[in-house]
Structure 1
């Protein structure tokens, strides 16, 4: 069954499936490439897969406690080992993002008891008789007409752990010394580090910071940012956690007038809409030139994650002033996990043991179709059924790119129910069963002369290719092609360790142009 939609739906597609043409008058930044956009956390550059092609950045902790185990005593061997890691990355064309963290672990004597509010909740930090601490969070609610605190969570935190997750007033100068010494060393050649991330996921219940956020800003972020800027570096905020709203992040930065202290605003594990929210807040305050990264996201066994999200973010970035390579980035967490079902994060990394996991294979495929040249938008492209770019990862979508001599369309056709039925929401609401027989998607390129096309292929999420060149049609003054929606090699997605009803939610159409 070759399922195409009605003429009415085709007409709707002409209106709704289009993508604006690239503005050729704007210069294309040479470093606006897929590999410069794509990073990873805790990578191992001594491992072969993905480096320099699918991954251009590695994010790794630089520990204050390891570098300075005691006041006045510096572990230069630790610094040297870290520097060698940077050089190994540079040899593969990979840049490095150090995370300057955490507390020094020397003593908890100067850590005060605290009570404070954040996001409409109350948090307390109290010292126990045994010298350890209780950290608790409460919702503020009304019970029987009276205000009450309802306990959300309470943790016992050892004094040792507290000293690693807080910087008291009497250690600010020590923290500043650590930052200055580290940035001076890593920014110098041959290392040449440009960006420095200050801490990681500071929040009272993140387990990376136990205390109020105003103290974090005053004692940690602002002193570090000032020094990094003095030394000519750039500041990446330490990752706003997904457990707290972005509006709270914006209010926090407003309260401390901290926008100028940050070069890159960083979110962790947010959907694309979170980046859009932050971009609007930056624009409202006159900071639209600042960068927005997510230096942690993923950590999922979901095989569709990268293919479904990354092309949407790339398209959004190109529509939102991506005028230099470092303005927008994503870092997958994490590079790899042991091939052991009992291991933490099993199947959630790019590598499983020494082999590419599902996410790693998906990233490798995406880098293959979008790599090798600067990224641009391409259009118009129209589709039947009618697809258009969508911020919401739960919706079907279409993104179109120009990469060197290639035109690449990322097609997301997501089922609308358990029977795997796709609904043409942008057309006449007709339906396609996307996992039955051989449904087709028609792509139209109204400004592309068929004579310019050397080759056209369908590329699956994991790299299986079908040559569609002989199916290319002349369509008015342009071109059109019918592309199979269903995977050509169904065994490719019938792994014994995958859910029986797994359905790939993205594929790519790649057009190679003649003589370009």
Structure 2
């Protein structure tokens, strides 16, 4: 098998980059992908060996799992114990789940930290002497688990409790990334890195204190990510750029912490993916709930990051999916989002990460939570036909869309963030029915106004409303004809913050 860095494959990669450039000039509405691409867009974090059978229940095809060196080799020059990873991959194989291992956590004997009794010893870079042992471990994992085609190197090395070094990006690239990537590529596998968390983008490291989310976050993340990728040409050792917690809701809010992180995706595409340097971008952790740690400045929540937690699923995933469909999606594994995470270990376990779990933990078993059901509904809806793409026509959801202003102080139309998809011959509309500072319940409207433009005048359309958690459907209109090419609807309001509509054409007349 040729190494991904073999000259012939480098030429092929450059040609692929040119094809992506050409494809990006196509109208967005023409860029459809097979539904299999989108099925593999959805993943989850920490599906353990005993949880793999839940993958279909929550609508994911991939699992991101920590594979930790310290758990496999407690002393130098001893045999590896792969009992846990063997069990993980065997279960994944049985349930047709693809595992992306995250290689991390050094054994104490390989760490640069002097106090080897501290738990944090695992989160330091290896000593110069231990780098060769790190490479040996990576090779052992690659050879042990040939089905692991994509391997992520370390977890969130840009924050100090996962990698504690004088200069994190230098220690990561020189001591962890490049040594491991060379081994992975020699075996024909692909590298996912640097697992960079966007919650705290930095212009300098280490910081004296962590900043709250602010309007310059995207710019700071872009600048810092570029530094990581350029240092010692780290990008040449990376196939897929991985980031964490890039907010999916792309509409900037007026509040101080409200900011879209989608410019990070756009920058990665225009400067790294489109020129053929990097193949794609994966968000390998999305869905963090950090309300318990908010007073410590851990995470600044967006206005919509509040109960009901199931609303986080479409708001984190669908804007990224909509973006991906418009940005040269040419291979199945080019774009992905992994939900964090499957479940806490025990019913009594508390903490910042439990409210967006895909499973709810009972006294002696798990069950799919409302968040898990919402993810299943999303993945089912966007893969319910052979092909998926962004809808090329204009879709508007809001209030007062058809009003004629009667005075200078007339309340202007309210338009909600809306993402339309072409699923086969149907149109899936997803809209967020809130906006900070606007109480839509007091507008005196009998319902939510919807306009779908660009339809065929010789068709009638059926419209169904779909519950964003359960996927249950209710008929809103049967064989309704558009006026010209525009279909106008008045949708009854409910207390749900998310609106899903499926617009299906009837037979041509």
State the TM-score, normalizing by the size of structure 2.
Answer: 0.72
Distance 1:288 1:171 in 2: 30
Deviation of 1:507 after TM superposition, in Å, equals 1.2
**Structure 1 counterpart of 2:318:** 311
The Cα offsets for residues 117-174 of structure 1, whole Å up to 9 and x where unpaired, read as xxxxxxxxxxxxxx63xxxxxxxxxxxxxxxxxxxxxxxx955632553211110110
Rate the CA distance shift 1:65–1:311 in 2: closer, same or farther, 3 A: same
Deviation of 1:296 after TM superposition, in Å, equals 0.8
**Structure 1: any 5+ residue segments left out of the alignment?**
1-19, 113-130, 133-156, 389-394, 422-431, 488-502
Question: Whose relative contact order is higher, 1 or 2, with alpha carbons under 8 Å and at least 6 apart?
Answer: 1
**Structure 2: any 5+ residue segments left out of the alignment?**
1-25, 202-219, 249-259, 290-306, 402-414
Distance 1:387 1:363 in 2: 31
The Cα offsets for residues 46-68 of structure 1, whole Å up to 9 and x where unpaired, read as 44444277111101011111222
Contact 2:281-2:336 at 8 Å conserved across structures? yes
Contact 2:65-2:102 at 8 Å conserved across structures? yes
- Aligned residue for 1:475, secondary structure, equals coil
The Cα offsets for residues 260-307 of structure 1, whole Å up to 9 and x where unpaired, read as 111111111122443532542453353465211110121226332112
The correspondence for 1:32, drawn from 13, 20, 37, is 37
**Structure 2 counterpart of 1:66:** 71
Distance 1:103 1:96 in 2: 21
Rate the CA distance shift 1:450–1:412 in 2: closer, same or farther, 3 A: farther
Distance 1:174 1:387 in 2: 65
Distance 1:387 1:90 in 2: 52
- Aligned residue for 1:470, secondary structure, equals strand
Farther-moved stretch of structure 1 (396-405 vs 203-212):
203-212
* Higher Cα Rg, which structure: 1
**Structure 1 counterpart of 2:247:** 271
Counterparts of 1:175-254 in structure 2, within 5 Å, are 175-187=134-146, 192-203=147-158, 205-213=160-168, 214-241=170-197, 242-244=199-201, 245-246=220-221, 247-254=223-230
Deviation of 1:42 after TM superposition, in Å, equals 0.3
The correspondence for 1:466, drawn from 471, 474, 479, is 474
Counterparts of 1:465-484 in structure 2, within 5 Å, are 465-470=473-478, 472-476=480-484, 478=485, 480-484=487-491
Rate the CA distance shift 1:485–1:217 in 2: closer, same or farther, 3 A: farther
Distance 2:176 2:277 in 1: 25
Rate the CA distance shift 1:94–1:52 in 2: closer, same or farther, 3 A: farther
Contact 2:165-2:171 at 8 Å conserved across structures? no
The Cα offsets for residues 84-123 of structure 1, whole Å up to 9 and x where unpaired, read as 4223223333211001112122265xx37xxxxxxxxxxx
Contact 1:204-1:210 at 8 Å conserved across structures? no
Farther-moved stretch of structure 1 (96-105 vs 371-380):
371-380
Deviation of 1:199 after TM superposition, in Å, equals 0.8
**Structure 1 counterpart of 2:439:** 420
The correspondence for 1:324, drawn from 318, 321, 331, is 331
Please give the root-mean-square deviation of Cα atoms over the aligned residues, in Å: 3.1
Rate the CA distance shift 1:512–1:91 in 2: closer, same or farther, 3 A: farther
The Cα offsets for residues 329-366 of structure 1, whole Å up to 9 and x where unpaired, read as 11111111367465233323111112222321221221
How many correspondences in the alignment? Answer: 410
Distance 2:419 2:159 in 1: 39
**Structure 2 counterpart of 1:343:** 350
Contact 2:395-2:420 at 8 Å conserved across structures? no
Distance 2:184 2:247 in 1: 29
**Structure 2 counterpart of 1:375:** 388
Contact 2:389-2:422 at 8 Å conserved across structures? yes
Distance 2:459 2:478 in 1: 12
Contact 1:397-1:411 at 8 Å conserved across structures? yes
Counterparts of 1:97-246 in structure 2, within 5 Å, are 97-106=100-109, 111=112, 132=115, 158-159=117-118, 161-163=120-122, 165-187=124-146, 192-203=147-158, 205-213=160-168, 214-241=170-197, 242-244=199-201, 245-246=220-221
- Aligned residue for 1:93, secondary structure, equals coil
The Cα offsets for residues 196-252 of structure 1, whole Å up to 9 and x where unpaired, read as 000111135234444432122111111111111111000000411221242112123
Contact 1:472-1:479 at 8 Å conserved across structures? no
- Aligned residue for 1:86, secondary structure, equals helix
Structure with the higher fraction of residues in strand conformation: 1
The Cα offsets for residues 313-337 of structure 1, whole Å up to 9 and x where unpaired, read as 1111111111222111111111113
Distance 2:119 2:350 in 1: 26
Contact 2:192-2:238 at 8 Å conserved across structures? yes
Contact 2:100-2:150 at 8 Å conserved across structures? yes
Distance 1:315 1:107 in 2: 43
**Structure 1 counterpart of 2:426:** 406
Is 1:41 the counterpart of 2:17? The answer is no
State the TM-score, normalizing by the size of structure 1.
Answer: 0.71
**Structure 1 counterpart of 2:504:** 512
